[in-house]
Amino acid sequence: MSVYTCAQLREIAPELALGVLGGAERAEAIIHINGCARCQAHVNELTEVADALPLLAPEHEPPPGFERRVLAAGRTQRRRGTRRFVAAVAAAAAAAAILSITIVRVVDAGGERVSAAVPGRPVEVRMATVGVDQHPAGWAYVTDQHAIAVAVSYSSFPTGEYRLVATPKGGSRFTVDNMKVIEGHGSWTGVSRVPLSTGSSIELVDDQGNLVCHGTVPRAE
Amino acid sequence: MWSVSDDALIAGLAAGDQDAASAFVRRFQRRVFGLARTIVGDDRAAEDIAQEAFLRAWRHAAAYDPRRGSVVTWLLTITRNLSIDAVRVRRPTSFDPTSLLGFDHESTERGPDEFAQLGEDGARLRAALARLPAEQCRAIVLAGLLGHTAREVSEMEDIPLGTAKTRIRTALQRLRTALVTEERAE
C-alpha cells in the first residue's frame, strides 16, 4: 500500500517523470502509480515531454573516425555475444547427452529393464518468444524424455531469475527448476522427473509469472 | 540508406545488418555526441559516452518499442542517462542553462535553419520553453536535461527546496500544456 495520496503523487509526478526523484520517494511513487490508473496516465503524459527534453541539446560533430570506432566496437560486441551463445548451445547439447547416459546407468543399476542399452539422440526443441512476432529465442534439447538442456538468447530478456516450466503431453504443468538469465543469455541442464515425450511443452517464465518464451517437443527423427 | 525510416534502421540494427548500423550511427552521431558534450562538458568523455550509447542501442535494438517513443528520443534517453551517471560526482556549480541551449531566452525569434536542425518536436519544445519565465526555464533544463534533483536545483539557484520543486513542476506542466494545445490546433 502506497504512503502517497493522489494529490501528493501529483506534486512529485514531474520529478518522477524527469527521473530525478530520490530512491525512497521514487519507490513509493511507483507503488502508488502501479495501483492507480489515473496517476499512471498523468505520469505517462509528463514522461512524454520529459523524454523529449534531450532534443534541445545542440548537435555537435564528433571527432574524426568516430563512426568507424563505433562500428568496430559493435562488431566485436556482436561476435562476443554470438560466440558465448554458440558455446552455450554446444554445451547444452553435450550436457543433454551426458545426462542421458547417466540416467541409463542409474536405471541399469536399479535393476530395471531399459529398452535401449545406449542413450537416444537429443531431440531439438526450438524456443520462441510469445506474441505475434514469435522471435527465435534459443533451443532446448531433450534426450530420452528426461535429460533436458536449455540455452536461451534474446536481448530483451531482462537479467534475473526465471522458472523453467514443463507440461508433459496430457499431463500437469510443473516447475522443473529456476534458471538465471544474464544480459539476455541463459542456460540450464538437468533432469525432468516426468517424461517429456512428443507434444510436451517447455516454457520460461519470469519472476512476475509472465511467459517469455516456449517450445514444443517435436517427434524424434 | 538515408531515405530509410528510423524504425527500419533500428530493425536492421537488431538483425545485425552492417549497412543499417553504419547508417544509424551516421544519422544520429551529431545528436548523441552533442547531448553528451552538453551534459559532461568535455569532448573526450563525451566521445566515450556517445560510443557506449550506440553500443547499448545496438545490443538492445530488438527490445525497442515504438509505442513508447521515437527512435531518437529512445537513443537520447540512453545517452542522457549515461552522461548523468558520468558527471554525478563532479557537478558544475554555476552556469546559465539557457545559454547551454544556444539561444537568448528573451527572444522567441528563431532562424529557420535552427528549427530545421531541431526537427519538428524539438522546435516546438524549444518555442514552448522560450515562453516560460526564465527561472522556470532554468529549473526544467537543470532537472530535465542535466539530471539535477530538486535539492540540487535549490542549491544552485539559491532558493528554498519547495520553490525549486514548484518551478520544476510548473515548467513541465506548462510545456505539456503548450505542446498538447499546439497538437490540437494542427
Is residue B115 located within the same domain as residue B130? yes
Residue A69's pLDDT is 94
Chain B contact for A170, CB < 8 A? no
Q: Which residues of A touch B145 (CB under 8 A)?
A: 53-54, 56-57
Is residue B185 located within the same domain as residue B99? yes
pLDDT higher than 70, residue A203:
yes
Model pTM score: 0.61
pLDDT higher than 90, residue A208:
no
Is residue B103 located within the same domain as residue B159? yes
pLDDT higher than 90, residue A7:
yes
> If you count residue pairs, one on A and one on B, with CB atoms under 8 Å apart, how many are there?
155
Is residue B102 located within the same domain as residue B117? yes
Residue B95's pLDDT is 52
Is residue B111 located within the same domain as residue B149? yes
Q: Which residue has the higher pLDDT, B73 or A93?
A: B73
Q: Given an 8 Å threshold on Cβ–Cβ distance, is A77 in contact with B58?
A: yes
Q: Please count the structural domains in chain B.
A: 2
| Chain B residues 37-56 within an 8 A CB cutoff of chain A | 37-39, 43, 47, 50-51, 54-55
Chain B contact for A23, CB < 8 A? no
Task: Give the CATH number of domain A6-56.
Answer: 1.10.10
Is residue B139 located within the same domain as residue B177? yes
For the segment(s) A84-216, the CATH number from 3.40.50, 3.40.1130, 2.60.40, 1.10.600 is: 2.60.40
Is residue B121 located within the same domain as residue B69? no
Is residue B109 located within the same domain as residue B170? yes
Write the pLDDT tens digit of every residue in A172-191: 888 988 888 887 788 887 78
Is residue B74 located within the same domain as residue B98? no
Burial-class residue A182 by CB neighbours within 10 Å (0-12, 13-18, 19+). Answer: exposed
Looking at chain B, the whole-number percentage of residues with pLDDT higher than 70 is: 78
What residue spans in chain A does CATH classification 1.10.10 cover?
Answer: 6-56
Domain stops at, among B57, B90, B123: B90
Residue A100's pLDDT is 56
What are the φ/ψ torsions at residue A176 (nearest 5 degrees)?
-80, -50
Cα–Cα distance measured from residue B121 to residue B151, given in angstroms and rounded to the nearest whole number: 29
CB A161 within 8 A of CB A180: yes
Write the pLDDT tens digit of every residue in B42-52: 899 999 999 99
Q: Please choose, from the candidates B62, B50, B49, B52, the residue with its C-alpha nearest in 3D space to the C-alpha of residue B20.
A: B62
Is residue B86 located within the same domain as residue B41? yes
Mean pLDDT of A122-131: 81
Write the pLDDT tens digit of every residue in B9-31: 888 887 778 888 999 999 999 99
CA distance B159 to chain A (A): 17
Query: Which of A116-120, B37-41, B144-148 is the least confident region?
Result: A116-120
Is residue B109 located within the same domain as residue B126? yes
Which member of A14, A49, A156 has the closest CB to residue B62?
A156
DSSP code per residue over A155-202 = TTSPSEEEEEEEE-TTS--EEEEEEEEBTTEEEEEEE-SS---TT-EE
What residue spans in chain A does CATH classification 2.60.40 cover?
Answer: 84-216
Q: What is the CATH number of the domain that holds B134?
A: 1.10.10.10
Q: Which residue has the higher pLDDT, A132 or A70?
A: A70
Residue A196's identity, in one-letter code, is: L
| A5-9, B88-92, B179-183 — most confident range | A5-9
Expressed as residue numbers, the domain containing B156 is 94-186
Cα–Cα distance measured from residue B51 to residue A71, given in angstroms and rounded to the nearest whole number: 9
CA distance A96 to chain B (A): 29
Residue B112's pLDDT is 40
CB B54 within 8 A of CB A66: no
Is residue B136 located within the same domain as residue B51? no
Q: Please choose, from the candidates B58, B24, B75, the residue with its C-alpha nearest in 3D space to the C-alpha of residue A81.
A: B58
